[in-house]
Amino acid sequence: MLTLEKFEEAAEKVRQVTQETKLIYSAYYSEATGNRVWFKPENMQRTGAYKVRGAYYKISTLTDEERSRGLITASAGNHAQGVAYAAQKFGVKATIVMPTTTPLIKVERTKAYGADVVLAGGVYDEACEHAYRLADQHGYTFIHPFNDLTVATGQGTIAMEIVQELPLVEYILVPIGGGGLATGVSALAKLLNPNIKVIGVEPAGAACMKASFAAGEVVKLDHANTIADGTAVLEPGDKLFPHLRDNLDDIVTVEDDELIVAFLDMVENHKTVVENSGLLTVAALSHLGVRDKKVVSILSGGNMDVITMSSVVQRGLIMRDRIFTVSVLLPDRPGELVRVAETVANSNGNVIRLDHNQFVCANRNAAVELRLTIEAFGHDHKYQIVQALKDAGLETEIIQTQL
């Protein structure tokens, strides 16, 4: 595997089940980073992620007997949907083991493709152990989500499409969970043009590949803690590690807070929903340390449940100082509340929550507390509003916003 011939074979196969995901030029991120930035929107695939590529190609290489036994895999969601969709296309049974923390939208969509879903374990690695046990018990054919060179070859077809559309690409940013996507993309990119820099991106709370690179061998983390659930992997694939060591030019890690801000930026500037793992490469754009380069960020998926989406948006607004909360102390007498409201309104602030506490002080004539959550345009506007309240003679303090 991982030869140009196999990549070409895989590219022909995956065209049967993939949508065309043309590169999208980002004027916003190009200006912000000083590079020319494009996105490869795999979040627009039929299953909402790139994983269908590797799953379909892998299943296409199985014998009739292997497929007839039924398929099984473990996945945090995107590979699950890829296998379920591919199995449906081949008319075979699929059982998917998913961590209990998997977003509901991924569970329901996997079931919608006709697969049987089993929830087990808190993270992918625990779900995978359970899937292996079921495979042994029932004789299922196991389709590994990443530690399989055939699967990685299917995923790598993304690089062929990138280079065909942007032949002079200089940097490709690819998310890393277990390493399947990064293995395929980096191997094919180097085959097509050894000068292309391929940068892997991991969440800081689950950086198993970076730890393995530092140790010179595969390392298993004690735990993973990240909102990027699709890349919350404790141990990278041992079959993939030698190829990644040869082909990846660097690994960048990003914090969860960076993913939250990236989600907000993508929704506002590109009107597109990308899940947290897919945002790794977007957040990493500010870490490259280069300018005037042609850069492609792979958006690996867009399967995000609405509750998570709502939480991320709210936190992003707070981090960008577009929502903030102040505590204002004022005497308990008629007209004081109006004075506060007028001061905020005259500063073009918008009150979205108000809590009036008359019992903050034993002497109500001395002070009651008003907590206002206010919508602003950003950092500078926030402090203009706060200063206006202080200038009005109001004792004002910025406090933590409670969602």
> In residues, how long is the chain?
403
Beta bridge partners of 329: 369, 395
H helix and E strand count, the chain: 16, 14
- Would residue 289 be called left, alpha or beta, if left means φ above 0 and alpha means ψ between -120 and 50 degrees? left
Q: Where are the beta strands (DSSP E) in 230-367?
A: 250-254, 294-299, 323-330, 350-357
* Catalytic entry in 60, 75, 300, 347: 300
Our answer to whether residue 300 is catalytic in this structure is yes
What does the block give as tokens for 47? 């299953």
Q: What is d(CA 60, CA 70) in angstroms, rounded to the nearest whole number? A: 14
Q: What is d(CA 98, CA 139) in angstroms, rounded to the nearest whole number? A: 19
Continuous segment of H or E residues that includes residue 52: helix 52-61
Q: What is d(CA 72, CA 259) in angstroms, rounded to the nearest whole number? A: 31
Give the three-state DSSP class for 22. Answer: coil
143-153 CB burial, b ≥16 within 10 A, e <16: bbbbbbbbbbb
Q: Cα–Cα distances in Å, from 97 out to 48, 92, 138, 266, 378?
A: 19, 17, 14, 31, 43
**C-beta atoms surrounding 344 within 10 Å:** 21
* Catalytic entry in 6, 40, 51, 58: 51
Residues designated catalytic: 51, 300
